[in-house]
Amino acid sequence: MNYHPRPHTAFWIPVWLYVPQFLDANGQPRQTLQYLRKIYVSYNGIGYILSIVLPVVLHSQWRRIDHHLCPNTIPCIDPCVVAADTDIAGIGVRTAAYIQSICGTILIGFSSKDTTAVRAVIVTTSLTLALAGGIYGILGKLSLHHGVIVQALLAVVMVPIHIVEPWRIKSPVLYAAQQLRFGAFMALSLWLLIKTPCLGADPQCNMCTSVFFSGRASQHWRRSLGMSLNLSLCIIWSSSQWWTYGLSNLLQTIPALFSGRVSDAWLHHVHATEHTLGHWRRTQNGLVQTILLWYNDDMAVATLLKRRRWIEAPDLHPVSSTWIQRIWTDTKIALRVPRVHRAFVGLVMAVLWAIATERAVAANVSKDANNWGYGQISSIILSVPAFASLVRMLSHLGEKESKVVKRVHTFPA
């Protein structure tokens, strides 16, 4: 099947729609595809309008909702702290999340190698944390304080990596884990927002729970904004599933976990979709498409660095350079790569979320959260692959081309 983008189309056509039912012999969209496109645009438009209107409507309805769902709200007086659950808010869990986030952001942003283990560790850690928060919530053991910390730690791990690598799918296993993680995160977030005044354990401190850098989780505008953000994320996720990749891609994820043939076909479809979408955006004009191209650019720094090392190879460039000079050259090269730009943004986000998390722990949880134990040490050990991969990458900074590169001469026929 030909996976090249269809010419002269007013909109991008996903690969899964490259069938005669939707395209004519010239590759132009049939009427059925035009209708399907209108449904997609309408769905997104209505969803985003609702995400804007929802905070306004909810802001005036929270008192009524809380009176119905939480009739026995307990007022509190600062300071109001709860006993620390080290499985969620322990210092080892928090430190592991920070290490994985920072190391993963640098590695995925700057390196094209040694990132598979890091991705697996990050997805595993965040998925475990999301499931733990969900299970604790179902059992009624999750306090609002710890729920806020779970959300903050998940943001620390997920948001910076997504900024650096927004739409790259590496394997069916990681993809399935990511979808499960997203579902657990969204369910937990919605439950926390709806049941804020009377959630789970230690409800006597719910009205005093601090979030982010200031303010309380029970503030109506914060809860309304949270509902709006969750709705927007659900729209983006659902649109990418049924329009960009197609529902068949989502349904084939489970069989792809157990069959190499199905896995290869699944990855081929994903890569073809990303290739055609990127190609189509490069043919478009406008600020939005330019931003999306920058956001989705997947060029690796290593590609440009290899060229620099080839040019300075022993038989091509006999003048030797110092390690400092090569570092400076590599830095200037890296700063031209959009993936590196996004890595810097991701690092800033990781640091800000880490600070916000520590402030939330200090304001909401007892000092027992800083005690070390078996679970805390185990969490740190799980972060060793990420740190080791980062050290391995840094050891190659300023590296010279050691192999002798022979000149290749071409002669006219």
Q: Specify the pLDDT at position 410.
A: 43
| Rounded Cα distance, 300 and 304, in Å | 8
Q: What's the rounded mean pLDDT across residues 179-195?
A: 87
pLDDT band per the 50, 70, 90 thresholds, residue 348? very high
| Rounded Cα distance, 102 and 115, in Å | 13
Q: What's the rounded mean pLDDT across residues 187-194?
A: 88
Rg (CA), the chain: 25
Residue type present at position 11 = F
Residues 65, 68, 70, 75, Cα dihedral to 10°: 80
Is there a cis peptide before residue 79, judged by omega within 30 degrees of 0?
A: yes
pLDDT band per the 50, 70, 90 thresholds, residue 406? very low
| Rounded Cα distance, 208 and 186, in Å | 23
Q: Specify the pLDDT at position 1.
A: 47
| Rounded Cα distance, 166 and 293, in Å | 11
pLDDT band per the 50, 70, 90 thresholds, residue 400? low
With contact defined as beta carbons under 8 Å apart, do 197 and 234 qualify? Answer: no
pTM of the model: 0.80
Q: 384-394 and 374-382 helices cross at what angle (nearest 10)?
A: 40
What value does the mean pLDDT of the chain take? Answer: 80
With contact defined as beta carbons under 8 Å apart, do 136 and 321 qualify? Answer: no
